[in-house]
Chain A
Amino acid sequence: GENVEQHPSTLSVQEGDSAVIKCTYSDSASNYFPWYKQELGKRPQLIIDIRSNVGEKKDQRIAVTLNKTAKHFSLHITETQPEDSAVYFCAAGFQGAQKLVFGQGTRLTINP
């Protein structure tokens, strides 16, 4: 079955700098890769996703890149702000499948 590895487990950056979180997956059939953000004590919420027919997707300060050959995808946050502090989860699955497999999570801290 699918296995998703996420790195780093913790990340601390200065406000205004960029943050990058990386994930690798094992199943070459996977073609849907969402990212979820979980603020302290809250539920995970979808922030961006990418499908295998594109290599990059942007939404304001957030971008996700996908390298299908290497089976890895990354979340990029630019101009970080204090409200970006949270735990971020990547996940992988394939369209038509019934479940997602999640990475272990990255705790991002933005230092003022």
Chain B
Amino acid sequence: DAGITQSPRHKVTETGTPVTLRCHQTENHRYMYWYRQDPGHGLRLIHYSYGVKDTDKGEVSDGYSVSRSKTEDFLLTLESATSSQTSVYFCAISEGGVSYGYTFGSGTRLTVV
């Protein structure tokens, strides 16, 4: 379905623990993105990738890191989870960047307690 999957779909973790979210695509698209969705803030970009091992920061990157060691996988790591990182995280893919549009994954609901 849509060629993009996120795992896990739901996660509860404790403050201070590291957490890794995975985005996997089967479309061989060059661009991959991590957004977080919070009420009143819409979708805010955390990090994105424009190729294997090529990544850049978005507007809310503090406390997050990413890695892309192969085309199909884009990992988001919360180094030391905080309650402010409780959110819904969406991965998106794009064939050729902005004007090709995004396809979103189903999201990961993360709760930090």
**Hey, which bits of chain A sit against chain B, CB under 8 A?**
1, 6, 9, 32, 34, 36, 42-46, 49, 51, 89, 93-105
**Hey, which bits of chain B sit against chain A, CB under 8 A?**
2, 31, 33, 35, 40-45, 48, 50, 56, 58-59, 90, 97-99, 101-107
Q: Which residues of chain B come closer than 8 Å to A36, judged between CB atoms? A: 102, 104
Q: Which residues of chain B come closer than 8 Å to A102, judged between CB atoms? A: 35, 42-44
Q: Which residues of chain B come closer than 8 Å to A97, judged between CB atoms? A: 97-98
Secondary structure call for the A interface: loop
Structural contact, A45 and B98, CB atoms closer than 8 A:
no
A-B contact pairs, 27 of them (CB 8 A): A6-B42, A32-B98, A32-B99, A34-B102, A36-B104, A43-B2, A43-B104, A44-B43, A46-B101, A49-B101, A51-B99, A89-B42, A93-B99, A94-B98, A95-B97, A96-B98, A98-B31, A98-B50, A98-B56, A99-B45, A99-B48, A100-B45, A100-B102, A102-B43, A104-B41, A104-B42, A105-B42
